[in-house]
Structure 1
Amino acid sequence: MGNRGRELLGLAAVVAAAVVATAGFAALGLPSPALFGGLLAGLVRALAFRGRAAVPGVAATAGQATIGVAMGSLIDLETLRAVAANWLPVLLVTLGTLALSLGAGLLLRLQRGISPVTGAFAMIAGGASGIIVMARGLGADARMVAVLQYLRVLLIVVLMPVVATVVHGSSGGGPADVVDDGPGWPAGLLFTVGCAVSGLVVGRLVRLPVAALLGPMVAAAAVDLSGLGRGAEVPALLGSAAFLVIGLQVGVSFTRESLRTIGRALPLALGVILGLILASAGLGLVLSAATGVSALDGYLATTPGGLYAVLATASDIGADVTFVLAVQVLRLFVMLLSAPLVARWLRRSAQG
C-alpha cells in the first residue's frame, strides 16, 4: 500500500473514531457533540501517532459553508420584528456584550503565549462554532479558541438551569413546540447546497473575510427573509458532519506545547469566563428594565453563548422564546460580522 493509501486509511480511522466519540457525547447531552467528537479524535491522532494529519481543504471549506448556512437560516421576519420593537436597547446591549468580550480577551492576554487576536476570539460571546471556524483564517490560535469557547458554553449550559430556577424562581413544563421541522431533508439539502455554493462564490468575488463561512451565512439569511427557502434548514446529519469536520481540523493541529499553553491559561480563563457570564447577566437586567420583559427573559437573551441550550431552556420554562431568539441571533450576527474588523484592529494595535 502506498503513502496515499495509508493516509486515506488513517483518515478514515480518525473519522470513525470521531463518529463513535460524537455518539458518546450526544448520549451525555453535551452541546455540539459532533464538534467535540471530531476535536477529541483529532487530538488523539495528533498526540498519539507519528506524522502529521490534515483534513482535506475541500472538506474543510464544505464544513465551513454548511455551518454558515445553518447560522444564516436562524434569522427570519418574526425575529426581525421582535428586534425592531425594541431596537435601541437590544442594539446597545449587543454592543455592550461585544465590549465585554473584548475586555475579557484583553485580560486573557495576561497569560504568556496568548496573542491579542487569540484572547479576543477565545472570549467573543456568541456563535462559538462560527468563531472557531474563523479563528485560523484571521490569525488566532484555533486550538486555544476552541477549548476556551466551549469551556464557556459548558459553564453556561450547567449554570443556566440553576440560575433560572434558583434566582428567577422558574419551573419547567412550559411549551415545547418551538422547533419547526421544515419541509424535509430534500428541500433542506437543496437549500444548503444552493446557499453554500452561491455564498462562497459571491463572498470570494467581493473578497469577504472568511468567505467560506460569512458568504453562505449572508446568502442563507437573504433566502430565508425573501421567503424563497420556505422554512428549509440544514439537514441534521449534514450539519453534524460539518461540525465533525471542523472539530477534526482543529484537533489534528494540536501539539504537546499547545496543550501546555492551554493548561497554563485555564485558571485565568475560568475566572475571566465567570466574570463575563456575571457581567452579561447584569446587561440582562438592563435589557429587562429598558424593554419591560421579565428579568428571566433578559437573562436568557443576554446569556453569552449556548444558543440552542438557551432556546431549549426558554421553551421548557415558558419564557418569551421569540424575544430571546431575536436578541441571541442579532448578537450572533454582530459578533461574526465584526470579528474580521476586530482581528484587523487588534493586529494593527499590536504592531503599533
Structure 2
Amino acid sequence: MGNRGRKLLDLAAVVAAAVVASYGFAVLGLPSPALFGGLLAGLVRALGFPGSAAVPGVAATAGQTVIGVAMGSLVDLETLRSVAENWLAVLLVTVGTLALSLGAGLLLRLQPGISPVTGAFALIAGGASGIIVMARDLGADERMVAVLQYLRVLLIVILMPVVATVAYGAASGGGAPDSLDAGPGWPAGLLFTAGCSLAGVVVGRLVRLPVAALLGPMVAAAVVDLTGMGRGAEVPGLVESAAFLVIGLQVGVSFTRDSLRTVGRALPLALGAILGLILTSAGLGAVLAATTGASALDGYLATTPGGLYAVLATASDIGADVTFVLSVQVLRLFVMLLSAPLVARWLHRPAGG
C-alpha cells in the first residue's frame, strides 16, 4: 500500500472512532457530542500512535462554513423584536458579559504557557463552537481553547437545572410542547447551507472579513433568515454533526504531550475562573430582570454564560419566556463572535503600542 493509501486508511479509522465516540456522548447527553467525539478520537490518535495526522484543509474549511450557517440561522424577526423592546438593558448586559469573560480569561495569564489571546478566547462566554473554530486563525492555542470552552459548557449544563430549581423555584414540565413544524425539509436545508456557505465565503473574502469561512456564512444565513428567503430552512442535523466532528478532529490531532500537560496544569485556575464567571453572570441576570420586568428566572437563563441549546431546552421545559431568553443569548453569541477578531488584534498589540 502506498503512502497516500496509508494516510487515507489512517484518516478513515480516526473518523470511524470519532463517530463511535460521538454516538456514545450523545447517549450520555453531553453537549455537542460530535465535537467531543472528534476531539477525543483525534487526541487518542495524536498521542497514542506514531506519525502526524491532519484533517484536509478543504474539510476543515467546509466545517467552518457549516457551523457559521448554523449560528446565523438562529436569528429571526421575533428574536429581534424581543431585543428591540429592551435594547439598552440587553446591550449593556451583553457588553458586561464580554468584559467579565475577558477578565476571567486574562486571569489565565497567571498560568505559564498561556498567552493573553488564548486565555481570553478560552473563557469568552457564548458561541463556544465558533470561538474554537476561529481560535487558530486568530493566533490562539485552539487545544487549550477547546478544552476550557467545553469545560465551561459542561459545568453550565450540569449546574443550570439545579440552580433554576433550588434558587429560582423552577419546576419541570411547565413548558409548551415542541412544535411539530420541522421546516421545509432536508433538501431545502442542504440548498440553504450550500448557498449561504458559498456566498458568505466569497463576500467575506472580498471585504476582507476576519475568519471569513465562519463569519461570512454566519452573516449570510442571518440575512437570508431575516428577509424570509430561507422559509425556515436550517442546516440538516447530520450535516451539522459532521461539521462539528471535523472541527473536533482538527483540534484533537494537533495535541502533543507537552500541550496536554499545559492544559492539565491550567485546569484548577480555569475551574475557579469559570465558576466565578457563572456567579457574576447570574448577577447580571438579576440586573437584566430588574430593568426589563422579566422574571428573575428568565434573567438568569438569558445571561447564563454558555450552553445555548441546553439553556433553551431548560427554558422550554420549565415554562420560562423562551423568546426573551433566546433573544439575549443569540445577541450575545453574535457580539462575541463578531468582536473576537477585534479582541485578538487588541491582545496581540505590542506593549505600549
Structure 2 match to 1:299? 300
Structure 2 match to 1:133? 133
Structure 2 match to 1:318? 319
Structure 2 match to 1:281? 282
Please give the alpha-carbon distance, in whole angstroms, between the structure 2 residues aligned to 1:282 and 1:106. 20
Which residue identity is paired with 1:202? Answer: V
Structure 1 match to 2:5? 5
Structure 2 match to 1:194? 195
* Cα deviation, residue 176, structure 1: 3.2
Matches within 5 A, 1:243-282: 243-282=244-283
* Cα deviation, residue 105, structure 1: 1.1
3-state DSSP of counterpart to 1:109: helix
* Cα deviation, residue 119, structure 1: 0.3
Residue 198 to residue 164, structure 1, CA distance change in 2 (3 Å) = same
Structure 2 match to 1:112? 112
Which residue identity is paired with 1:240? Answer: S
Residue 302 to residue 196, structure 1, CA distance change in 2 (3 Å) = same
Structure 2 match to 1:166? 166
Whether the 8 Å CA contact 1:116–1:350 is kept in 2: the answer is no
Which residue identity is paired with 2:136? Answer: R
* Cα deviation, residue 90, structure 1: 0.1
* Cα deviation, residue 283, structure 1: 0.1
Residue 106 to residue 58, structure 1, CA distance change in 2 (3 Å) = same
Structure 1 match to 2:80? 80
Which residue identity is paired with 2:62? Answer: A
Please give the alpha-carbon distance, in whole angstroms, between the structure 1 residues aligned to 2:62 and 2:51. 25
* Cα deviation, residue 350, structure 1: 4.6
* Cα deviation, residue 212, structure 1: 0.3
Please give the alpha-carbon distance, in whole angstroms, between the structure 1 residues aligned to 2:181 and 2:117. 37
Which residue identity is paired with 1:117? Answer: V
Please give the alpha-carbon distance, in whole angstroms, between the structure 2 residues aligned to 1:190 and 1:229. 9
* Cα deviation, residue 2, structure 1: 0.6
* Cα deviation, residue 178, structure 1: 5.6
Normalising by structure 1, we get a TM-score of: 0.99
Stretches of structure 1 lacking an aligned partner (at least 5 in a row): none
Q: Say yes or no: does 1:150 pair with 2:150.
A: yes
Which residue identity is paired with 2:17? Answer: A
Q: Say yes or no: does 1:203 pair with 2:204.
A: yes
Which residue identity is paired with 2:157? Answer: V
Please give the alpha-carbon distance, in whole angstroms, between the structure 2 residues aligned to 1:179 and 1:82. 23
Structure 2 match to 1:339? 340
Whether the 8 Å CA contact 1:178–1:315 is kept in 2: the answer is no
Which residue identity is paired with 1:121? Answer: F
Whether the 8 Å CA contact 1:301–1:324 is kept in 2: the answer is yes
Which residue identity is paired with 2:222? Answer: A
Please give the alpha-carbon distance, in whole angstroms, between the structure 1 residues aligned to 2:340 and 2:67. 16
Which runs of structure 1 show a deviation greater than 3 angstroms over 4 or more consecutive aligned residues? 349-352
Please give the alpha-carbon distance, in whole angstroms, between the structure 2 residues aligned to 1:311 and 1:56. 34
1:239-273 Cα offsets, whole Å, 9 max, x none, are 00000000000000000000000000000000000
Please give the alpha-carbon distance, in whole angstroms, between the structure 2 residues aligned to 1:265 and 1:169. 35
Please give the alpha-carbon distance, in whole angstroms, between the structure 2 residues aligned to 1:101 and 1:274. 11
Residue 118 to residue 351, structure 1, CA distance change in 2 (3 Å) = farther
Residue 274 to residue 100, structure 1, CA distance change in 2 (3 Å) = same
Deviates more, 1:227-236 or 1:342-351: 342-351
* Cα deviation, residue 177, structure 1: 1.5
Residue 163 to residue 56, structure 1, CA distance change in 2 (3 Å) = same
Structure 2 match to 1:22? 22
Please give the alpha-carbon distance, in whole angstroms, between the structure 2 residues aligned to 1:208 and 1:304. 26
* Cα deviation, residue 351, structure 1: 7.3
Please give the alpha-carbon distance, in whole angstroms, between the structure 2 residues aligned to 1:215 and 1:181. 26
Stretches of structure 2 lacking an aligned partner (at least 5 in a row): none
Structure 2 match to 1:33? 33
Which residue identity is paired with 1:338? Answer: S
Residue 180 to residue 260, structure 1, CA distance change in 2 (3 Å) = farther
Deviates more, 1:201-210 or 1:136-145: 201-210
Normalising by structure 2, we get a TM-score of: 0.99
Please give the alpha-carbon distance, in whole angstroms, between the structure 2 residues aligned to 1:351 and 1:300. 40
Please give the alpha-carbon distance, in whole angstroms, between the structure 2 residues aligned to 1:46 and 1:93. 41
Please give the alpha-carbon distance, in whole angstroms, between the structure 2 residues aligned to 1:20 and 1:87. 44
Residue 239 to residue 140, structure 1, CA distance change in 2 (3 Å) = same
3-state DSSP of counterpart to 1:289: helix
Structure 2 match to 1:122? 122
Which residue identity is paired with 1:247? Answer: G
3-state DSSP of counterpart to 2:110: coil
